[in-house]
Amino acid sequence: MSDALLMSVLCPYCVWCCRAERLAEQVGAYHMELRIDSVVSALLALFSSVTKRTPRFRADGGSNAENLAMQNIQVTAWHVARCPAMECITA
């Protein structure tokens, strides 16, 4: 079994990170690994500390408002995770 295949079996993120890291190097950028799960967890903790409630998706028994809050948290997490790669914050 090749090293690359073994790496992808052990950690599916490694193959993608290695590709992203190589691409960033080729185009003169930098690569930063950030797990979106940790961003979502942080945003949920912030939301819960402010509202004293933990939102749930509608599929998990949450209300329409909670479902919308969860969707907003997901979108915000995606933007936060993507921000370090944007040139505007590195200048």
Across residues 54-72, what is the average pLDDT?
Answer: 94
Q: What is residue 77's predicted lDDT score, i.e. its pLDDT?
A: 84
Say if residues 54 and 44 touch (Cβ distance below 8 Å): yes
Residue whose pair of structure tokens reads 């930063």 in the numeric block: 32
Q: What is residue 7's predicted lDDT score, i.e. its pLDDT?
A: 38
Q: pLDDT tens, 10-33?
A: 445 555 567 777 887 888 877 777
Q: What secondary structure does DSSP assign to 20-65, as a single string?
A: HHHHHHHTT-------HHHHHHHHHHHHHHHHS-----GGGT--HH
Q: What is residue 14's predicted lDDT score, i.e. its pLDDT?
A: 57
Instruction: State both tokens at 51.
Output: 């509202």
Return contacts of 20-24, CB within 8 angstroms, 24+ apart.
none
Residue 68 has pLDDT above 70, yes or no: yes
Across residues 69-84, what is the average pLDDT?
Answer: 82
